[in-house]
Amino acid sequence: MRAECDLQPWMSVCDIPLYWEPVKCNIYIKRAKEEARAEAALVEPVPDWQKGMIPIYVIIPFQILSGIWKGLAIGIVALPWWLILASVATVDWILDWVFLFTFGIFCRPCAGFFIWVLNIAFLPFTVWGWLMRLMLETYGLFIDGWMLPFGLSGCYLNWGH
């Protein structure tokens, strides 16, 4: 707008005086360097092996072996108990959707209330499932637990990568 002050001096912008203040340029140069470093870090991520992690081609086979090991433990020792927990979890999941699609269509908090009551009724099975998972994860820890000290490469109870 100030460029037009010569042609239209009546504009209110032309009445405001301009005061220039000297600024140290070094602060902008530092900020530009920091922004460039941040962009470079986004473009070139640090490889996992430089973070202390084990390469992925070692992690994946051991996690698959751990899953097989846990499956064998379920099949040999805990299959009836695991099937009971899986059945209860499936029924709970189906009933949650039934409540959501019946009551939830016109009253979402009402559906949430019934789902909440149902989850409280199934709480003993939830705790039993947590204990079963603790047992299975500890059983599988013998296969892939050695990777945890190496940059949390393994996985134990959702702890690790």
Q: What is the pTM of this model?
A: 0.60
Give the H/E segment covering residue 58.
helix 56-73
pLDDT band at residue 128 under the 50/70/90 scheme: very high
Dihedrals phi, psi of 159, to nearest 5 degrees: -105, 115
Residue 111, pLDDT > 70, answer: yes
Confidence at residue 21, expressed as pLDDT on a 0 to 100 scale: 72
Confidence at residue 59, expressed as pLDDT on a 0 to 100 scale: 87
CA distance 1 to 16: 12
Of 47-56, 58-67, 125-134, the range with the lowest mean pLDDT is 47-56
CA distance 31 to 85: 57
With 0-12 / 13-18 / 19 or more C-beta atoms within 10 angstroms meaning exposed / middle / buried, residue 159 is: exposed
Give the tens place of pLDDT for each residue, 35-57: 777 776 665 666 655 567 788 88
pLDDT band at residue 12 under the 50/70/90 scheme: confident
Question: What SS3 class is residue 75?
Answer: helix
pLDDT band at residue 152 under the 50/70/90 scheme: confident
Give the tens place of pLDDT for each residue, 94-103: 999 999 999 8
Dihedrals phi, psi of 155, to nearest 5 degrees: -150, 125
CA distance 133 to 155: 13
